[in-house]
Amino acid sequence: MVSSNSSIMPTSPPSAIEFRQALGQFATGVTVVTAERAPGQVHGMTASSFASVSLDPPLILVCVDHRAHMLAILQKQKRFGISILKEHQQKISKFFAQPEQDPAEEKELGIGFRWTPSGIPLLENTLVQLGCHVAAAHVSGDHTVFIGEVESAELHSGAPLLYCRGGYQRLAPLL
């Protein structure tokens, strides 16, 4: 049971729906993972499974679904960007959560990329841009956890886009 006032803990593992619903209560930011899919061409994937791992060395993680096109690209490329979205960028989040990305829509949304000197693509006009190389990859269930060592970090002004309970949210201070 997901919604229960009882203090008795369930003894069986949650169903997929219960698990999703429970984990959906955990508010996250929204990132776009970017990597070079062909010379000079970028593939992007929206990901909220981003987390910091270590300060020294600076490590982050992101979990990639085994059905995602991004999986093979990261396995090959070993370098990727993480761009943390700003609060008004939910259309960009939705765009990079689609299996096929239409170049006309990309243009309409004003999506642009910049490249680090080591060849990592990053999404322009985002809150934070991290250039990473793959330090480790762990297959865990139906996802692979990529640990990235951060080579470069840029912070820009603005507020973060949030994702919680299956919808986009924004920060609001507690009074």
Ligand X SMILES: Cc1cc2nc3c(=O)[nH]c(=O)nc-3n(C[C@H](O)[C@H](O)[C@H](O)COP(=O)(O)O)c2cc1C
Residue of the chain from 21, 24, 61, 65 that contacts ligand X (CB under 6 A): 65
CA of 151: how far to CAs of 5, 6, 96, 100, in Å?
47, 48, 23, 29
Window 156 to 175, contacts with ligand X (CB under 6 A): 163
As a whole number of angstroms, the distance between CA 114 and CA 129 comes to: 10
CA of 33: how far to CAs of 3, 97, 128, 140, in Å?
34, 11, 12, 19
45 or 150, CB closer to ligand X?
45
As a whole number of angstroms, the distance between CA 19 and CA 149 comes to: 30
Residue of the chain from 34, 46, 89, 129 that contacts ligand X (CB under 6 A): 46
As a whole number of angstroms, the distance between CA 160 and CA 128 comes to: 9
Residue of the chain from 59, 68, 135, 147 that contacts ligand X (CB under 6 A): 68
Site for ligand X contains 47 (CB under 6 A): yes
75 or 98, CB closer to ligand X?
98
Site for ligand X contains 83 (CB under 6 A): no
- What residues line the site for ligand X (CB under 6 A)? 30, 45-49, 63-65, 68-70, 93, 97-99, 163
